[in-house]
Amino acid sequence: MTRENLAHFWRLYRRNYSAVAGLAILAAIIALAATAHFFFPDDPFKLAGRPMSPPATGGFLLGSDSLGRDVAAGIAHGAKTSLLIGLVATLVAVGFGALMGGLAGYYGGWIDDLLMRTTEMFQTIPSFVFAILLVAIMKPSIESIVIAIAVVSWPAVARLVRGEFLSLRNREFVQACHTLGMSDLRIMLGEILPNCLSPIIVTGSLMVATAILIESGLSFLGLGDPNIMSWGFLIGAGRTVLRSAWWVCTFPGLAILITVLAINLVGEGFNDALNPRLRERR
């Protein structure tokens, strides 16, 4: 993308005020994640003071949990986990989904049939239950969570990319490439793919939000990586003291809500800016 394109994109993007707000919030959360080690240098699992301190007491901004862990530190360190897993899982899912959808759409015929039946099957399977099962079988770790989220998210991308490839593969510019003797691979990656990047970016950005929700659900159920702090883990750990320490569950949940909301707003902003035709329909 050239500088001019970027400037044009930004002009379109900033017309949607809520999308700009979403971007600002997201930037703040990224900053929080990046500075977690600076403001909370200690291990977030470490006992930091008196257990069950209410917010704004005992040196805890957002209180402490039943083991005296700092909730604010947990949120700051958990931001890294959530953003990282959301982003990596989405990248893997988009990569794999684009490959499947691209092959199916470009070649058609039995390849299309085979790949699309597979996609359908994956879409039929209840995705969250499937993710739980995959993590339970692979043992909880960052890698297994990323794989599980990617496995349940790729079909949507595959369908999208297949549709785009299907509509583009008989266009004149693609036929011209065939005449020039370009290889299939080069046509797919160099010619067709760049033309369907906008819907992929929009879908991908919304998928990051879903991935963060799935990750928080998994770690809430106790399927998070045991060595890494995450928002879902904080809420799951705070559940047992809900009666006496409401803040342990409340603040990490708000963090998830705000992050997912911000990403959804950014995704909608991308949609408006990248597909100007669709704007009137909303």
Partner 1 sequence: MNHSVKRLRYVLKRLLQALPIVLAIVVVNFFLLHMAEGDAVDVLAGEAGSATPEYMAELRQKFGLDKPLPVQLAIYLKNVLSFDLGYSFRHEMPVSQLVLDRFVPTLLLMVSTILLAVGLGIVLGLIAAVGLNTWRDNLISVFALVTYATPLFWVGLMMIVVFSLNLGWFPTSGMENIAAFHTGWDRVWDIAHHLVLPTITLSLFYLALYTRLMRASMLEQAGMDYVTTARAKGVTERRIVFVHVLRNALLPVVTMAGVQVGALIGGSVIVESVFAWPGLGMLAFEALFARDLNLLLGIFLLSALLVVAVNLVVDIVYSLLDPRIEVS
Distance CA 235, CA 216 (A): 9
201 binds partner 1 (CB under 8 A): no
Shortest Å, Cβ 170 to partner 1: 23
Specify the residue for token string 């470490």. 46
Distance CA 122, CA 97 (A): 12
Nearest to 239 by CA among 80, 66, 54: 66
20 binds partner 1 (CB under 8 A): no
Query: Interacting stretch for partner 1, rule CB under 8 A, among 4-12, 31-39, 70-78, 119-127?
Result: 119-127
279 binds partner 1 (CB under 8 A): no
Cβ partners under 8 Å of residue 148, min gap 6: 130, 131, 132, 134, 135, 138, 218
**Judged by CB under 8 A, which of 257, 275, 276, 279 binds partner 1?**
257
Cβ partners under 8 Å of residue 212, min gap 6: 82, 83, 85, 86, 256, 259, 260, 263
23 binds partner 1 (CB under 8 A): no
Nearer to partner 1, 169 or 271 (CB): 271
x/- contact string, 126-165, with partner 1 (CB under 8 A)? xxxxxxxxx-xxx---------------------------
Shortest Å, Cβ 33 to partner 1: 18
Distance CA 153, CA 86 (A): 11
Q: Which letter does DSSP use for residue 276 in this model? A: G
216 binds partner 1 (CB under 8 A): yes
Q: Which residues of 138-156 are buried (b: 16+ CB within 10 A; e: fewer)?
A: eebbbebbbbbbbbbbbbb
189 binds partner 1 (CB under 8 A): no
Q: Report how far apart, in Å, the C-alpha atoms of 68 and of each of 45, 46, 52, 65, 221 are.
A: 9, 8, 6, 5, 21
213 binds partner 1 (CB under 8 A): yes
**Judged by CB under 8 A, which of 242, 275, 278, 279 binds partner 1?**
242
211 binds partner 1 (CB under 8 A): no
6 binds partner 1 (CB under 8 A): no
By rule CB under 8 A, what count of residues binds partner 1? 42
**Judged by CB under 8 A, which of 190, 222, 226, 276 binds partner 1?**
222
Nearer to partner 1, 66 or 250 (CB): 250
